[in-house]
Amino acid sequence: MKSPFFRFGLAFGAATLLTACAGHYQHEQEHVHYTPGLGEIMAQSAVRHAKLWFAGQAQNWELAAYEMDELHEGFEDAAKYHRTHKQIKQPIPELIAQNMDLPLAGLEQAIKDKNLQAFTRNYDNLTAGCNACHQATEFGFNRVTHPNFNPFANQAFGTSN
């Protein structure tokens, strides 16, 4: 014979479970509407930019190509979600096209050709493009350089280590 306490326990448990599910559902809904800020996309792009350098210097062309794809996606998101930003007058998609399209294409070719010299030259062009856009957006105090040490302790950039 089940005690009233047992029944209460069951009902209480089910109610708690339902509430927890509802909370989880709501949480997921919030995710659907989340769009990353331009600063967040940029911070991500800066990581890709650094990883691209180490991949290229290690001549891990597959990894370099992957980091390029990620950079592309970041700029696509920036153009899609941030057509305008703060006091910047020129549309963001236009600024990205002006400053990124050529250097990204140059780097892509260098990676396809597996050419370290061309990679390094085009990487410098890309970095100059990042900085040109920061200048054009009153964000010139934020200077990007190629990384001078590797902060990624948990990733091997070479092809065989």
Q: Which residues bind ligand HEC (CB under 6 A)?
A: 38-39, 42-43, 45-46, 49, 85-86, 92, 95-96, 99-100, 126, 130, 133-134, 137, 139, 142, 144
| Residue 65, phi-psi category: left (phi > 0), alpha (psi -120 to 50), beta (remainder) | alpha
> Least distance (Å) from ligand HEC to the CB of residue 86?
6
Residue nearest to ligand HEC (CB): 39
> Least distance (Å) from ligand HEC to the CB of residue 55?
14
CA 124 to each of CA 1, 7, 42, 86: distance values in angstroms, whole numbers, following the listed order: 79, 70, 18, 28
> Least distance (Å) from ligand HEC to the CB of residue 6?
55
Give the length of the chain: 161
Residue with tokens 């009153």: 138
Complex with ligand HEC: residue 110 or 144, whichever CB lies closer: 144
Contact of 104 with 64, CB cutoff 8 Å = no
> Least distance (Å) from ligand HEC to the CB of residue 45?
5
Complex with ligand HEC: residue 24 or 143, whichever CB lies closer: 143
Complex with ligand HEC: residue 42 or 55, whichever CB lies closer: 42
> Least distance (Å) from ligand HEC to the CB of residue 137?
4
Q: Mind giving me the DSSP string for 63-89?
A: HHHHHHHHHHHHHHHHHHH-SS-TT--
Complex with ligand HEC: residue 59 or 98, whichever CB lies closer: 98
First to last CA, the chain: 66
